[in-house]
Structures are given as structure tokens and as C-alpha cells.
Amino acid sequence: MPEGDSVYQAARRLHEALADQVVTKSDFRVPAYATVDLSGETVHSVASRGKHLLMRIGDEVVHSHLKMEGEWKVRRPGERWHRPAWQARIVIETPAAVAVGFDLGLVEVFPAVEEEERMSYLGPDLLGPDWDADEAVRRMATAPDAPIAVALGDQRNLAGLGNVYVNELCFLRGIRPTRPVAEVELVPLVDLASRVIRANRDRISRTTTGDTRRGARLWVHSRGGEPCRRCGTRIEHDRLGRNDVELRDTWWCPNCQR
């Protein structure tokens, strides 16, 4: 599942493949941007901002969000793609590489001068140079009645945590996901969020248990009905969100998270 660490890794791969190269062909398979042509422009950088990916080309920014199914792949010119062409949303070609964005949940192109303003609603980026734990704590505290799991996943508070990290962090701190923000010690929780996602940013397989074997990497996420790895109690499951449209699956151990 794409979260901040996945997008960070994708941006790093794209930057290494494309940075300082001239685009020989661009193909935007999204109606709103079908006429955009970045041929002849230089790729300045590719970076992540939370769960957003920003490809800076010439005077434009190609902004994408992976959502649930999206991914970016880098291939050599002429190399066969391993996914159907109809799933591609963006293709950027240079003399040395071809970058293809498949099933991207969001695609937009805007002038580079607008990047700061467009991204300004996001909280501090857990994996970015602007990471500010105090600011993240301050933002979370502005909604004292919100469930802590909702506050952790709100990108306006801190950028980069998805549902996997939200559930796992609540377990690691022994907090029931529904507990109000005002009743949670936010400083150690935010510190743990930073340490856990940074520990995973260079890993192929994300783990919060410290065990990288398949099926043993997570404590509670997607483990409803299974025994808790710590105490053996059956993991419970429900859905939680700011409203009915934003409900997210939530898992917890009723014994370890009191």
C-alpha cells in the first residue's frame, strides 16, 4: 500500500533516472492534460511531499498521487513494460530512461511558481527537510475531540502517514484508535511516527515488528480475527473516519490498546 515511504522511494528512483536529462517525449493519457508537451524541457528534480510526487520539468510541475493502486516504473528505452499500456497515465521519455506512471489516482500539471502555494495545506513532511515535530503536535492538538487515528492520518497535520502506519503506531503506543486527541500524549507518538517511517524509507518491505518475513511484518493492520502477536487476544476490526465518506479500516488489540 503506497504510503509516504513508498512515494519517497519512487521519487528517489525517478530522480536518479531522470534528473538533468532532456525530455524527448511526453505522453499524458489524462483528458485534461492530453495536449501537454514537455519535449525539449529539462528534468530538474523529482521529489516526494508526504504521499505526493512532484516531478519538476522545465517551468512546470507534474504532480501525481498514487492513491491505492498507482505506481511509477522506470524502464530503459525500448524495454518491455510489465503492465498493460492502457493502465499508463503518464509517460516521460529521455535518452536514458522511460518513466511510466500506472493507475495514478491523481494527475495534474501546473506552473512551478505555484508549487509552494498548492502544497501549503500539507503538514510537516515526515521524510522531508521541513519536518517539524512541534508543528505536527500543534496541528493535531487543534482538534482535541478527534479520534487519534483520524488525526494521525490527516495530511494537514503531518504528511506521509497512511492507514498502515496509523494502525501500527496506535498499537505500538498502546492507544485505542478511537481515543480523543486530548487524551493522548502527542509528543512521544509523533516522535515514534518519525522514527518508524524513517527506519522503513530504505527498506524493500515495510515492517513495524522488526521482522521482515512475509506475514510477520505488522502487528495489527489487516489482521482482524487473528491472535495478537504480543498477548494472543483476537484482533478487532471496525471503520473510522472524519465522516461517512472518509471511513478507513481500523484494527486494534483490545487488551494491548486500552
**Catalytic site residues?**
2-3, 51, 248
Residue type (1 letter), 98: V
Tell me which residue of 170, 159, 165, 105 sits closest to 136, measured CA to CA: 159
- Give the gyration radius of the chain's Cα atoms: 20
Alpha carbon of 16 to those of 49, 55, 200: distances in Å?
17, 12, 20
Q: How far apart are CA 136 and CA 107, in angstroms?
A: 27
Cell numbers placing 226: 487473528
Measured in whole angstroms, the distance separating CA 112 from the mean position of its chain's CA atoms is 22
Residues contacting 225, CB < 8 A, separation 6+: 234, 235, 237
Residue 242: C-alpha distances to residues 128, 148, 152, 163, 178 (Å): 26, 11, 12, 14, 11
One-letter amino acid of 152:
L
> E strand or H helix at 188, and its extent?
helix 186-200
Q: Which residues of 107-144 are buried (b: 16+ CB within 10 A; e: fewer)?
A: bebeeeeebeebbeebbbbbbbeebebeebbebbeebe
